[in-house]
Amino acid sequence: MNVTRFIRYYIYKMLTRSQNTLISSSTIARSEHTPSNIETYQTNAQKVTAMKSCLNMINHWEKKYPARLLAITLSLTLSACATPNSTLDTTIKQQPKGGVVRNITSFDGALSCMDNLFVSNGVKDVVITSSGLPDATGAIQVGSKDIMISAISKMSVRSNAFKFVDFDPLQLDITQLFSIASNAGGTKKHFEIPQYYIRGAITQFDQNVLSQNNSLNITKLIGTSGGIQSSNISSVISTDVNLVKMLSRQVIPGVQSNNSIVINQANTSGNVTAQLTNKTIPFQLSFSRNEGSHAAVRTLIQLSMIEILGKLTHVPYSQCLGMPSTIPTARTQALQEFNALSTQQQLARIEQALQKKGYLKTGVSTESAISSYQKDNDLIANGRIDFDLYDSLLNQRLSQKKSFQAEQISSQVKAVSLQKMKTPVGLHLKASKPTGIYKVGDTLQAALHVTENAYVYCYYQDAKRRLSRIFPNRFSPDSFVAAAKPIMLPAAKAQFKIVFDEKDTKEGIVCFAAKTEVGLKVPEKYKAVDLSPIAQSSLDDVISVFYGVGATGISHKKLIFNVQ
């Protein structure tokens, strides 16, 4: 292969990869609309344009220059192609990166499909709540509860299938207002106790589970040297979600969602250096694509809500998950198809689809019809043609009909239930040595059990008074403990031990049990990575913190150990 063919082949490969990167960055920018994602999309668009210009210039110079001079000219051409337009770049950085867009994922169409399913199946007024999905890995900070609320809301626009009760003791103004209304008897008529609640966690975040690196070096080709390098790193995020009956605290068997998603970080770089008489002319390219972990979590939560609520209501939710918009390759193909259409072709297809759906009628302008459709389908009603409009028109589906009856709660049962919720959880904690006396080198083990289903949190203080959370932890990420099923601290599967290593000292543990996920309400430092010291805190401090957040039915046990 001569140098001309190689460089053309190299640029063609880079162009193909850049076009794929452009498609991915476009999808990411729509799902997670941040300035950095938009800037990445615009940069990738410039790179695709530059690569196309390079190929055109190569074809032009190839006919005009002999081989050796061509190699030099190509390097000059490639350097020019790789040089950013500084004037354009300055202008872009001084202006907003793009218009306002809706935060759309591949499951937005599926959420609307679920809404239609609930309408046709008569699902209505099911009262639910949740504290969100805590991050058991300690690596991703994301507003999971708000993402969950948004997903449920999108599935209830037409059907009113679900009512989400937002009750958070951390929102002091709302809590105070609720207390005043309750004392005045105002909540008896209006407040509805949820029939179900959603619980779960982000249970896994494995970084760099797959790493691929490739390189190619070129030397002694008509005075030209160069190389190509590429790398691809993959990470995995997983969520586990279940549905629980509010009154009995029983997890509903089979109504769960366990999903994982892979996020990729890709980088490709290359260089070509042409040796001239007195100077060297370099050409370098570097492309990268990073998929956001927060966008991945949003997608996982939306999928979990579709599965959980679909299973609860016995609707054929799988047909919504089978929509083209939920399949990444199908969405990518749809974007490629949309970009390949001319403006006139895009307009023709949009108008045809709007006519079929009854939006474009005689006397109604296309812009008005588009705005009406966008308004009804949770898109920005700007009357413009874009890919989100095109994708939405293509991917809507109909539903089938079944029946569902939610678990009903009488007012008398509600009163008894509220009183029961206030009763502290029975908690028992026993060390392996009842006397509490240990020797240097001994290991600590304690048995814990609760008299009813509860959420458990345990902290350990060492001889230097350093406090750390030992449960839940990375080996046992779920704080939920079933009634009368003892657990060991540390658990047998846990890959850590607590060893007493200083003589004449005192160490201790404290465990809490509550009827709600109180661990979500404590200050951030107490949610820190497990088995790591918590700054400026002790056993007594953490006891004050847990009782200070207004947890329901909370109790605790503290054990002190003497090391001799």
The DSSP result for 152-171, as a single string, is HHHTTTTT--EEE----TT-
Q: Are residues 209 and 229 in the same domain?
A: yes
The DSSP bridge partners found for residue 225 are 273
| 55: in domain | yes
Q: Last residue of a domain, which of 350, 378, 396?
A: 396
And the tokens for 244? 């629980």
Residue 283: count other Cβ atoms within 10 Å of its Cβ. 22
Q: Are residues 42 and 115 in the same domain?
A: no
DSSP strands (E only) in 49-175: 126-130, 162-164
Q: Are residues 359 and 306 in the same domain?
A: no
| 201: in domain | yes
Q: Counting beta carbons within 10 angstroms of the beta carbon of residue 108, is it exposed (0 to 12), middle (13 to 18) or buried (19 or more)?
A: buried
User: Which of 357, 377, 417 shows the shortest CA–CA distance to 110?
Assistant: 377
Q: Are residues 375 and 516 in the same domain?
A: no
Own/partner pairs, 523-526, CB within 8 angstroms, 24+ separation = 526/469
Cβ(290)–Cβ(25) under 8 Å?
no
| 306: in domain | yes
In the chain the first and final C-alpha atoms are separated, in Å, by 78
Residues of the chain with pLDDT under 70: 1-13, 15, 19-20, 22-39, 41-42, 54-106, 167-191, 207-233, 264-292, 322-333, 394-421
Q: Counting beta carbons within 10 angstroms of the beta carbon of residue 309, is it exposed (0 to 12), middle (13 to 18) or buried (19 or more)?
A: buried
Tens of pLDDT, residue by residue over 180-232, are 556 655 555 566 788 899 999 888 877 665 555 555 454 444 444 555 555 56
Give me the domain span that covers residue 511: 423-563
SS3 at position 462: coil
Q: Are residues 133 and 152 in the same domain?
A: yes
Q: Give the span between the Cα atoms of 261 and 238, in whole angstroms.
A: 6
Per-residue pLDDT, 517: 80
| 408: in domain | no
Amino acid at 301: I
Number of independent structural domains in the chain = 4
Q: Last residue of a domain, which of 78, 104, 130?
A: 104
Q: Give the span between the Cα atoms of 466 and 459, in whole angstroms.
A: 10
Contact partners, residue 17, CB within 8 Å, separation at least 6: 268, 287
Per-residue pLDDT, 399: 36
Q: Are residues 156 and 213 in the same domain?
A: yes
Tens of pLDDT, residue by residue over 138-158, are 777 788 888 999 999 999 998
Per-residue pLDDT, 89: 43
Specify the DSSP element, H or E, that contains 16. helix 3-31
User: Which of 82, 12, 83, 74 shows the shortest CA–CA distance to 222?
Assistant: 74
Using alpha carbons only, how large is the chain's radius of gyration in Å?
A: 30
And the tokens for 201? 């966690």
Per-residue pLDDT, 402: 43
Cβ(167)–Cβ(130) under 8 Å?
no
| 475: in domain | yes
SS3 at position 422: helix
Cβ(29)–Cβ(99) under 8 Å?
no
Q: Are residues 86 and 118 in the same domain?
A: no
Per-residue pLDDT, 40: 72
Q: Are residues 117 and 203 in the same domain?
A: yes
User: Which of 264, 261, 205 shows the shortest CA–CA distance to 233?
Assistant: 264
Q: Are residues 317 and 447 in the same domain?
A: no
Cβ(197)–Cβ(162) under 8 Å?
no
| 51: in domain | yes
| 377: in domain | yes
Q: Are residues 78 and 180 in the same domain?
A: no
Q: DSSP class of residue 499?
A: B
Residue 332: count other Cβ atoms within 10 Å of its Cβ. 15
Q: DSSP class of residue 408?
A: P
The DSSP bridge partners found for residue 260 are 238
Peptide bond into 477 cis (omega under 30): no
- CATH code where residue 476 lies: 2.60.40.2550
SS3 at position 172: helix
Q: Last residue of a domain, which of 104, 131, 149?
A: 104
Contact partners, residue 197, CB within 8 Å, separation at least 6: 128, 129, 130, 131, 243, 244, 246
pTM (predicted TM-score): 0.44
Q: Are residues 466 and 534 in the same domain?
A: yes
Per-residue pLDDT, 487: 92
Residue 162: count other Cβ atoms within 10 Å of its Cβ. 22
Per-residue pLDDT, 28: 65
| 82: in domain | yes
Q: Are residues 64 and 121 in the same domain?
A: no
Using alpha carbons only, what angle is made at residue 454 by residues 453 and 457, rounded to the nearest 5 degrees? 150
